[in-house]
């Protein structure tokens, strides 16, 4: 099925990305990737280091423009937008979460969560401020004005998740969201991502974590920039029929 037949949701079609290496030779970081990231599902992108997982995530986010193929969201061909339009699209449609949280430690929890609102407003609109407070409360984070540097790693990742959700995006993109967390905290974050999918969001995670993979509705396995079957023994929790 051509995923573009479905005019809703996020998809990539025949996506290819090539880079020049240090010697000036071109190599394909991704080639021929076609996939659909459905609302209400968690999709895990797995593969060994250097297989192109993060490159794919960046293409989905509109950070990277593919050399061939396209990224589409609803009726919008994201990959053909200009940089400024892609920034705006990402701001309103994507929530990004990183392995190392990437919070601004000197800001409070509330200030970190409301950061994306500063890109388009001088004052954070009250509706977004209220939403930030709700997210903070829902994630069980402290409401006091303390810098995020004083929070635990699990709490900081939840702050990053709350920040990603501020603009109520349809897509959550997470790059190794559980990699730097202990098992209990990782399970909690994985549960949160699953819950977000339940709310109708398309959740895409680049991960090496079998815990997260085991909760994914779909798994995209990459090897040398191409899609292929995952090494099942590497992910014992992988469910049969999960492969995209």
Partner 1 sequence: MNPWPIVRAFLVRHRWAALAFVFLVAAGVSLAVALISQERALRTGSARAADRFDLIVAAPGSQTDVLLTAVFLRPGTTKLLQPEVTVRLLNDKRAAFVAPIGFGDSHRGAPIVGTTSQLVTHLSNELQEGRVFARREEAVVGAASPMKVGETFQPTHGIPRDGNPEEDADPHEHGAMITVVGRMKPTGSPWDSAIMVPVELVWQLHSLPDGHEEGSEAVGPPFDQAWTPGVPAAVVRPTTIAAAYQLRNAYTTNESMAFFPAEALTRLYSVMGDLRQLMSLLAIVTQALVLMAIMMGVLLLFRFLVPQLITLRALGAPRLFIAAIAWGFTATLVLAGVLLGLGAGYGLSYGVSQWLAADTGVELTPTLASSEYLIAASILATGWILALLPAYVVQRRSLAISLAES
Judged by CB under 8 A, the residue of 53, 72, 73, 90 near partner 1 is 90
* Helix (H/G/I), strand (E/B), else coil: 24: coil
If binding is defined by CB under 8 A, does position 96 make contact with partner 1? yes
Stretch that binds partner 1, among 35-43, 45-53, 81-89, 235-243 (CB under 8 A): 81-89
Judged by CB under 8 A, the residue of 72, 131, 156, 163 near partner 1 is 163
Give the contact letters, 42-61, x = binds to partner 1 (CB under 8 A), - = no.
------------x---x--x
- Distances from the Cα of 69 to the Cα of 11, 13, 34, 60, 204, angstroms: 11, 6, 9, 12, 19
Per-residue DSSP letters for 148-164?
Answer: GGGS-HHHHHHHHHHHH
Determine whether 21 is exposed, middle or buried from the number of CB atoms within 10 Å of its CB (0-12, 13-18, 19+).
Answer: exposed
Give how far the C-alpha of residue 179 lies from the chain's centroid of Cα atoms, to the nearest Å: 14
If binding is defined by CB under 8 A, does position 102 make contact with partner 1? yes
If binding is defined by CB under 8 A, does position 171 make contact with partner 1? no
DSSP at 100: T
Give the contact letters, 120-159, x = binds to partner 1 (CB under 8 A), - = no.
xxxx------------------------------------
Strands (DSSP E) along 151-217, which ranges?
171-175, 202-206
Per CB under 8 A, residues contacting partner 1 are 54, 58, 61, 63-64, 83-84, 87-88, 90-92, 94, 96, 98, 100, 102, 104-107, 111, 115-116, 118-123, 163-164, 167
């Amino acid at each position: 099925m051509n995923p573009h037949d479905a005019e809703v949701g996020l998809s990539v079609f025949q996506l290819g990305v090539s880079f020049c290496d240090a010697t000036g030779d071109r190599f394909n970081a991704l080639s021929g990737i076609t996939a659909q990231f459905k609302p209400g599902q968690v999709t895990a992108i797995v593969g060994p280091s250097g297989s192109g997982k993060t490159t794919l995530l960046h293409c989905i986010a509109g950070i990277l423009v593919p050399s061939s193929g396209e990224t589409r969201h609803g009726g919008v061909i994201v990959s053909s937008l200009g940089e400024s339009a892609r920034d705006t699209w990402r701001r309103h449609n994507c929530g990004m979460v990183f392995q190392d949280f990437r919070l601004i430690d000197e800001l409070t929890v509330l200030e970190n969560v409301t950061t994306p609102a500063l890109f388009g407003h001088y004052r954070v609109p009250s509706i977004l401020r209220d939403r930030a407070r709700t997210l903070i409360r829902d994630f069980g984070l402290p409401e006091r004005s303390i810098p995020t540097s004083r929070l635990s790693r699990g709490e900081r990742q939840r702050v990053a998740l709350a920040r990603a959700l501020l603009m109520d995006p349809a897509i959550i993109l997470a790059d190794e969201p559980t990699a730097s967390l202990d098992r209990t905290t990782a399970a909690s974050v994985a549960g949160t991502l699953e819950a977000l999918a339940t709310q109708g969001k398309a959740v895409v995670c680049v991960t090496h974590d079998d815990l997260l993979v085991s909760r994914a509705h779909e798994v995209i396995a990459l090897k040398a920039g191409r899609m292929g079957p995952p090494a099942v023994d590497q992910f014992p929790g992988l469910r049969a029929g999960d492969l995209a």
